[in-house]
């Protein structure tokens, strides 16, 4: 499970718990920006395995290839416009992106951003790029109140809806 750095990062905690209640083994990777919204301590407390740096402060290297080979499925929630752009263009400057690029299985991406960002042609193009590859984009709520107070598409699905989407694709069944 990858967690991007947006206000919806708090839903990642709820999603993690929901997946664990299903009996799924979950490893968590936070982006550096995600650590500013929800602390690594929160995810580390709830998950047996949570990382957020390629090299820890103690100098230990986190093996992104091993993580990519371990997983059957990858879910990235929330996926911000920034994270989606970096994924679509093969950027690999943090542990989540390194793992994503090394991963050969099914990838589910749950966008979460403000309505203007979601509707922007660049974001729509990046989502199209991801969809044309091995990624399944879990479309955000079409209408809803966003963190900015605006209403429109861009709000990440609720964790139970993401679980249902995964199960609809045969994950965890």
Kindly report the three-state secondary structure assignment for every residue of the chain: CEECCCCCHHHHHHHHHHHHHCCCCCCEEECCCHHHHCCHHHHHHHCCCEECCCECCCCCECCHHHHHHHCCEEEEEEECHHHHHHHHCCCCCCHHHHHHHHCCCEEEEEECCCHHHHHCHHHHHHHHHHHHCCEEECCCECCCECCCCCECCCECCCHHHHHHHHHHCCCCC
Q: Indicate whether 99 belongs to any domain.
A: yes
At 22 the pLDDT is 95
CATH number, domain of 78, equals 3.40.50.1950
Q: What is the span of the domain harbouring residue 107?
A: 2-168
Q: Domain for residue 173, yes or no? A: no
Q: What is the pLDDT of residue 5?
A: 95
Q: Is residue 126 part of a domain?
A: yes
pLDDT at 152: 77
Beta bridge partners of 3: 30
pLDDT per residue, tens digit, the chain (173 aa), is 999 999 999 999 999 999 999 999 999 999 999 999 999 999 999 998 999 999 988 898 999 999 999 999 999 999 999 999 999 999 999 999 999 999 999 999 999 999 999 999 999 999 999 999 989 999 886 677 777 777 778 889 999 999 999 999 999 86
What's the number of domains the chain is made of? 1
The pLDDT value recorded for residue 142 is 65
């Amino acid at each position: 499970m990858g967690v991007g750095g947006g206000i919806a990062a708090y839903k990642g905690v709820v999603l993690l718990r929901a997946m664990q209640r299903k009996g799924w083994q979950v490893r968590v990777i936070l982006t550096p920006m995600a650590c500013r919204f929800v602390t690594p301590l929160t995810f580390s407390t709830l998950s047996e395995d949570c990382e957020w740096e390629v090299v820890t402060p103690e100098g230990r290297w986190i093996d992104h290839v091993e993580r990519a080979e371990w997983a059957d499925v990858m879910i990235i929630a929330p996926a911000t416009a920034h994270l989606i752009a970096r994924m679509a263009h093969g950027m690999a400057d943090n542990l989540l992106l390194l793992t994503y690029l090394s991963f050969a299985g099914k990838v589910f991406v749950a966008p979460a951003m403000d309505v203007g960002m979601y509707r922007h042609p660049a974001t729509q193009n990046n989502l199209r790029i991801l969809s044309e590859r091995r990624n399944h984009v879990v479309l955000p709520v079409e209408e809803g109140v966003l963190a900015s107070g605006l209403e429109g598409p861009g709000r990440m699905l609720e964790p139970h809806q993401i679980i249902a989407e995964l199960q609809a694709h045969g994950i965890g069944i």
